Amino acid sequence: MTVRDAVKTEMAKRPPLPELSQLKTLRKKAGLTQQAVADIVVVSREMISAYETGRAEPTGECRLRYIEALDVMRQETAP
């Protein structure tokens, strides 16, 4: 297996994030500020802004916490 194949395999294991356009929508629909989400995910408000605009993507534990937070927001705001 090449390094490229190994990287692709590892990336495929990462839980997917919602579409970029949904990140801000989910947060706002849940009535949360970027700071509130940042406190939950344990990152800075600026990182949440970067996630929502596509300038950065969460990794590692932050990614898992962010995905969990987004899932809860989706469940809590579902009709």
Q: Classify residue 68: in a domain, yes or no.
A: yes
Residue 60 falls in which region: left (phi positive, over 0), alpha (psi -120 to 50) or beta: left
Q: Fill in the DSSP letter of residue 43.
A: S
Rounded to an integer, the average pLDDT of 42-68 is: 95
Token pair for 68:
């969990």
pLDDT score of 3 = 94
pLDDT score of 15 = 79
Q: Classify residue 21: in a domain, yes or no.
A: yes
pLDDT score of 30 = 96
Q: Classify residue 11: in a domain, yes or no.
A: no
Task: Domain count for the chain, please give it.
Answer: 1
How far the first Cα of the chain sits from its last, in Å, is: 46
Residue-range definition of the domain harbouring residue 22: 17-77
pLDDT in tens, 9-41: 887 777 789 999 999 999 999 999 999 999 999
CATH number for the domain spanning 56: value is 1.10.260.40
